[in-house]
Amino acid sequence: MWNKILIYAFVGLFTVLSYSQSSGDKVEIENAVTKLYAAMVSKDKKELQKLTLDGLSYGHSSGTIENKEEYLEAIMTGTFIFSSIVAEDQLIIISRDTGIARHLFVATGTNKGKSANVRIGVMMIWQKKNGKWLLLARQAYKL
């Protein structure tokens, strides 16, 4: 009898702990997405470097794929200058040390000096390293 009670107690505790960890991780990824987009708007290279892994694969809706160095260069010196970026309708899924964030990327800015609005779909893959969520891959797609 006591064995069954202990087993149910451990299963219940494990379920609660798993849920709370997953819930906390979701908030951390949500915050990381927000920080990444804020750093893209402000062109904060140090913050962008901190939030991305060296093996970054950054895919655009046009089909262009950049590594970390190319991504940073495009943000810092590219023709598109962001005024704002918002992640709308975000869904985050966690599996151990990997997280997927799907959302609508809604941005305003200028492209070659002309006003521009962007509304595309994005899927990001985040990996937890040393307690921090870092961007491993991002793929955008046209809606």
Q: Does the pLDDT of residue 1 top 60, yes or no?
A: no
User: Containing domain of residue 57, as a range?
Assistant: 2-141
CATH number at residue 116: 3.10.450.50
Q: How far apart are CA 121 and CA 18, in angstroms?
A: 29
Buried b / exposed e along 91-105 (16+ C-beta atoms within 10 A)? ebebeeeebebebeb
User: Which amino acid makes up residue 101?
Assistant: A
Higher pLDDT, 21 or 90: 90
pLDDT in tens, 109-130: 999 999 999 999 999 999 999 9
Asked if residue 102 lies in contact with residue 122, where contact means CB atoms within 8 angstroms, the answer is yes
pLDDT in tens, 10-33: 444 444 444 445 789 999 999 999
Quote the radius of gyration of the chain (alpha carbons, Å).
Answer: 19
Q: What is the number of domains present in the chain?
A: 1
Which tokens in the block code for residue 49? 């470097």
Question: What is the four-CA torsion angle of 127, 128, 132, 133, rounded to 10 degrees?
Answer: 30
**Model-level pTM?**
0.85
Which pLDDT score is estimated for 5?
55
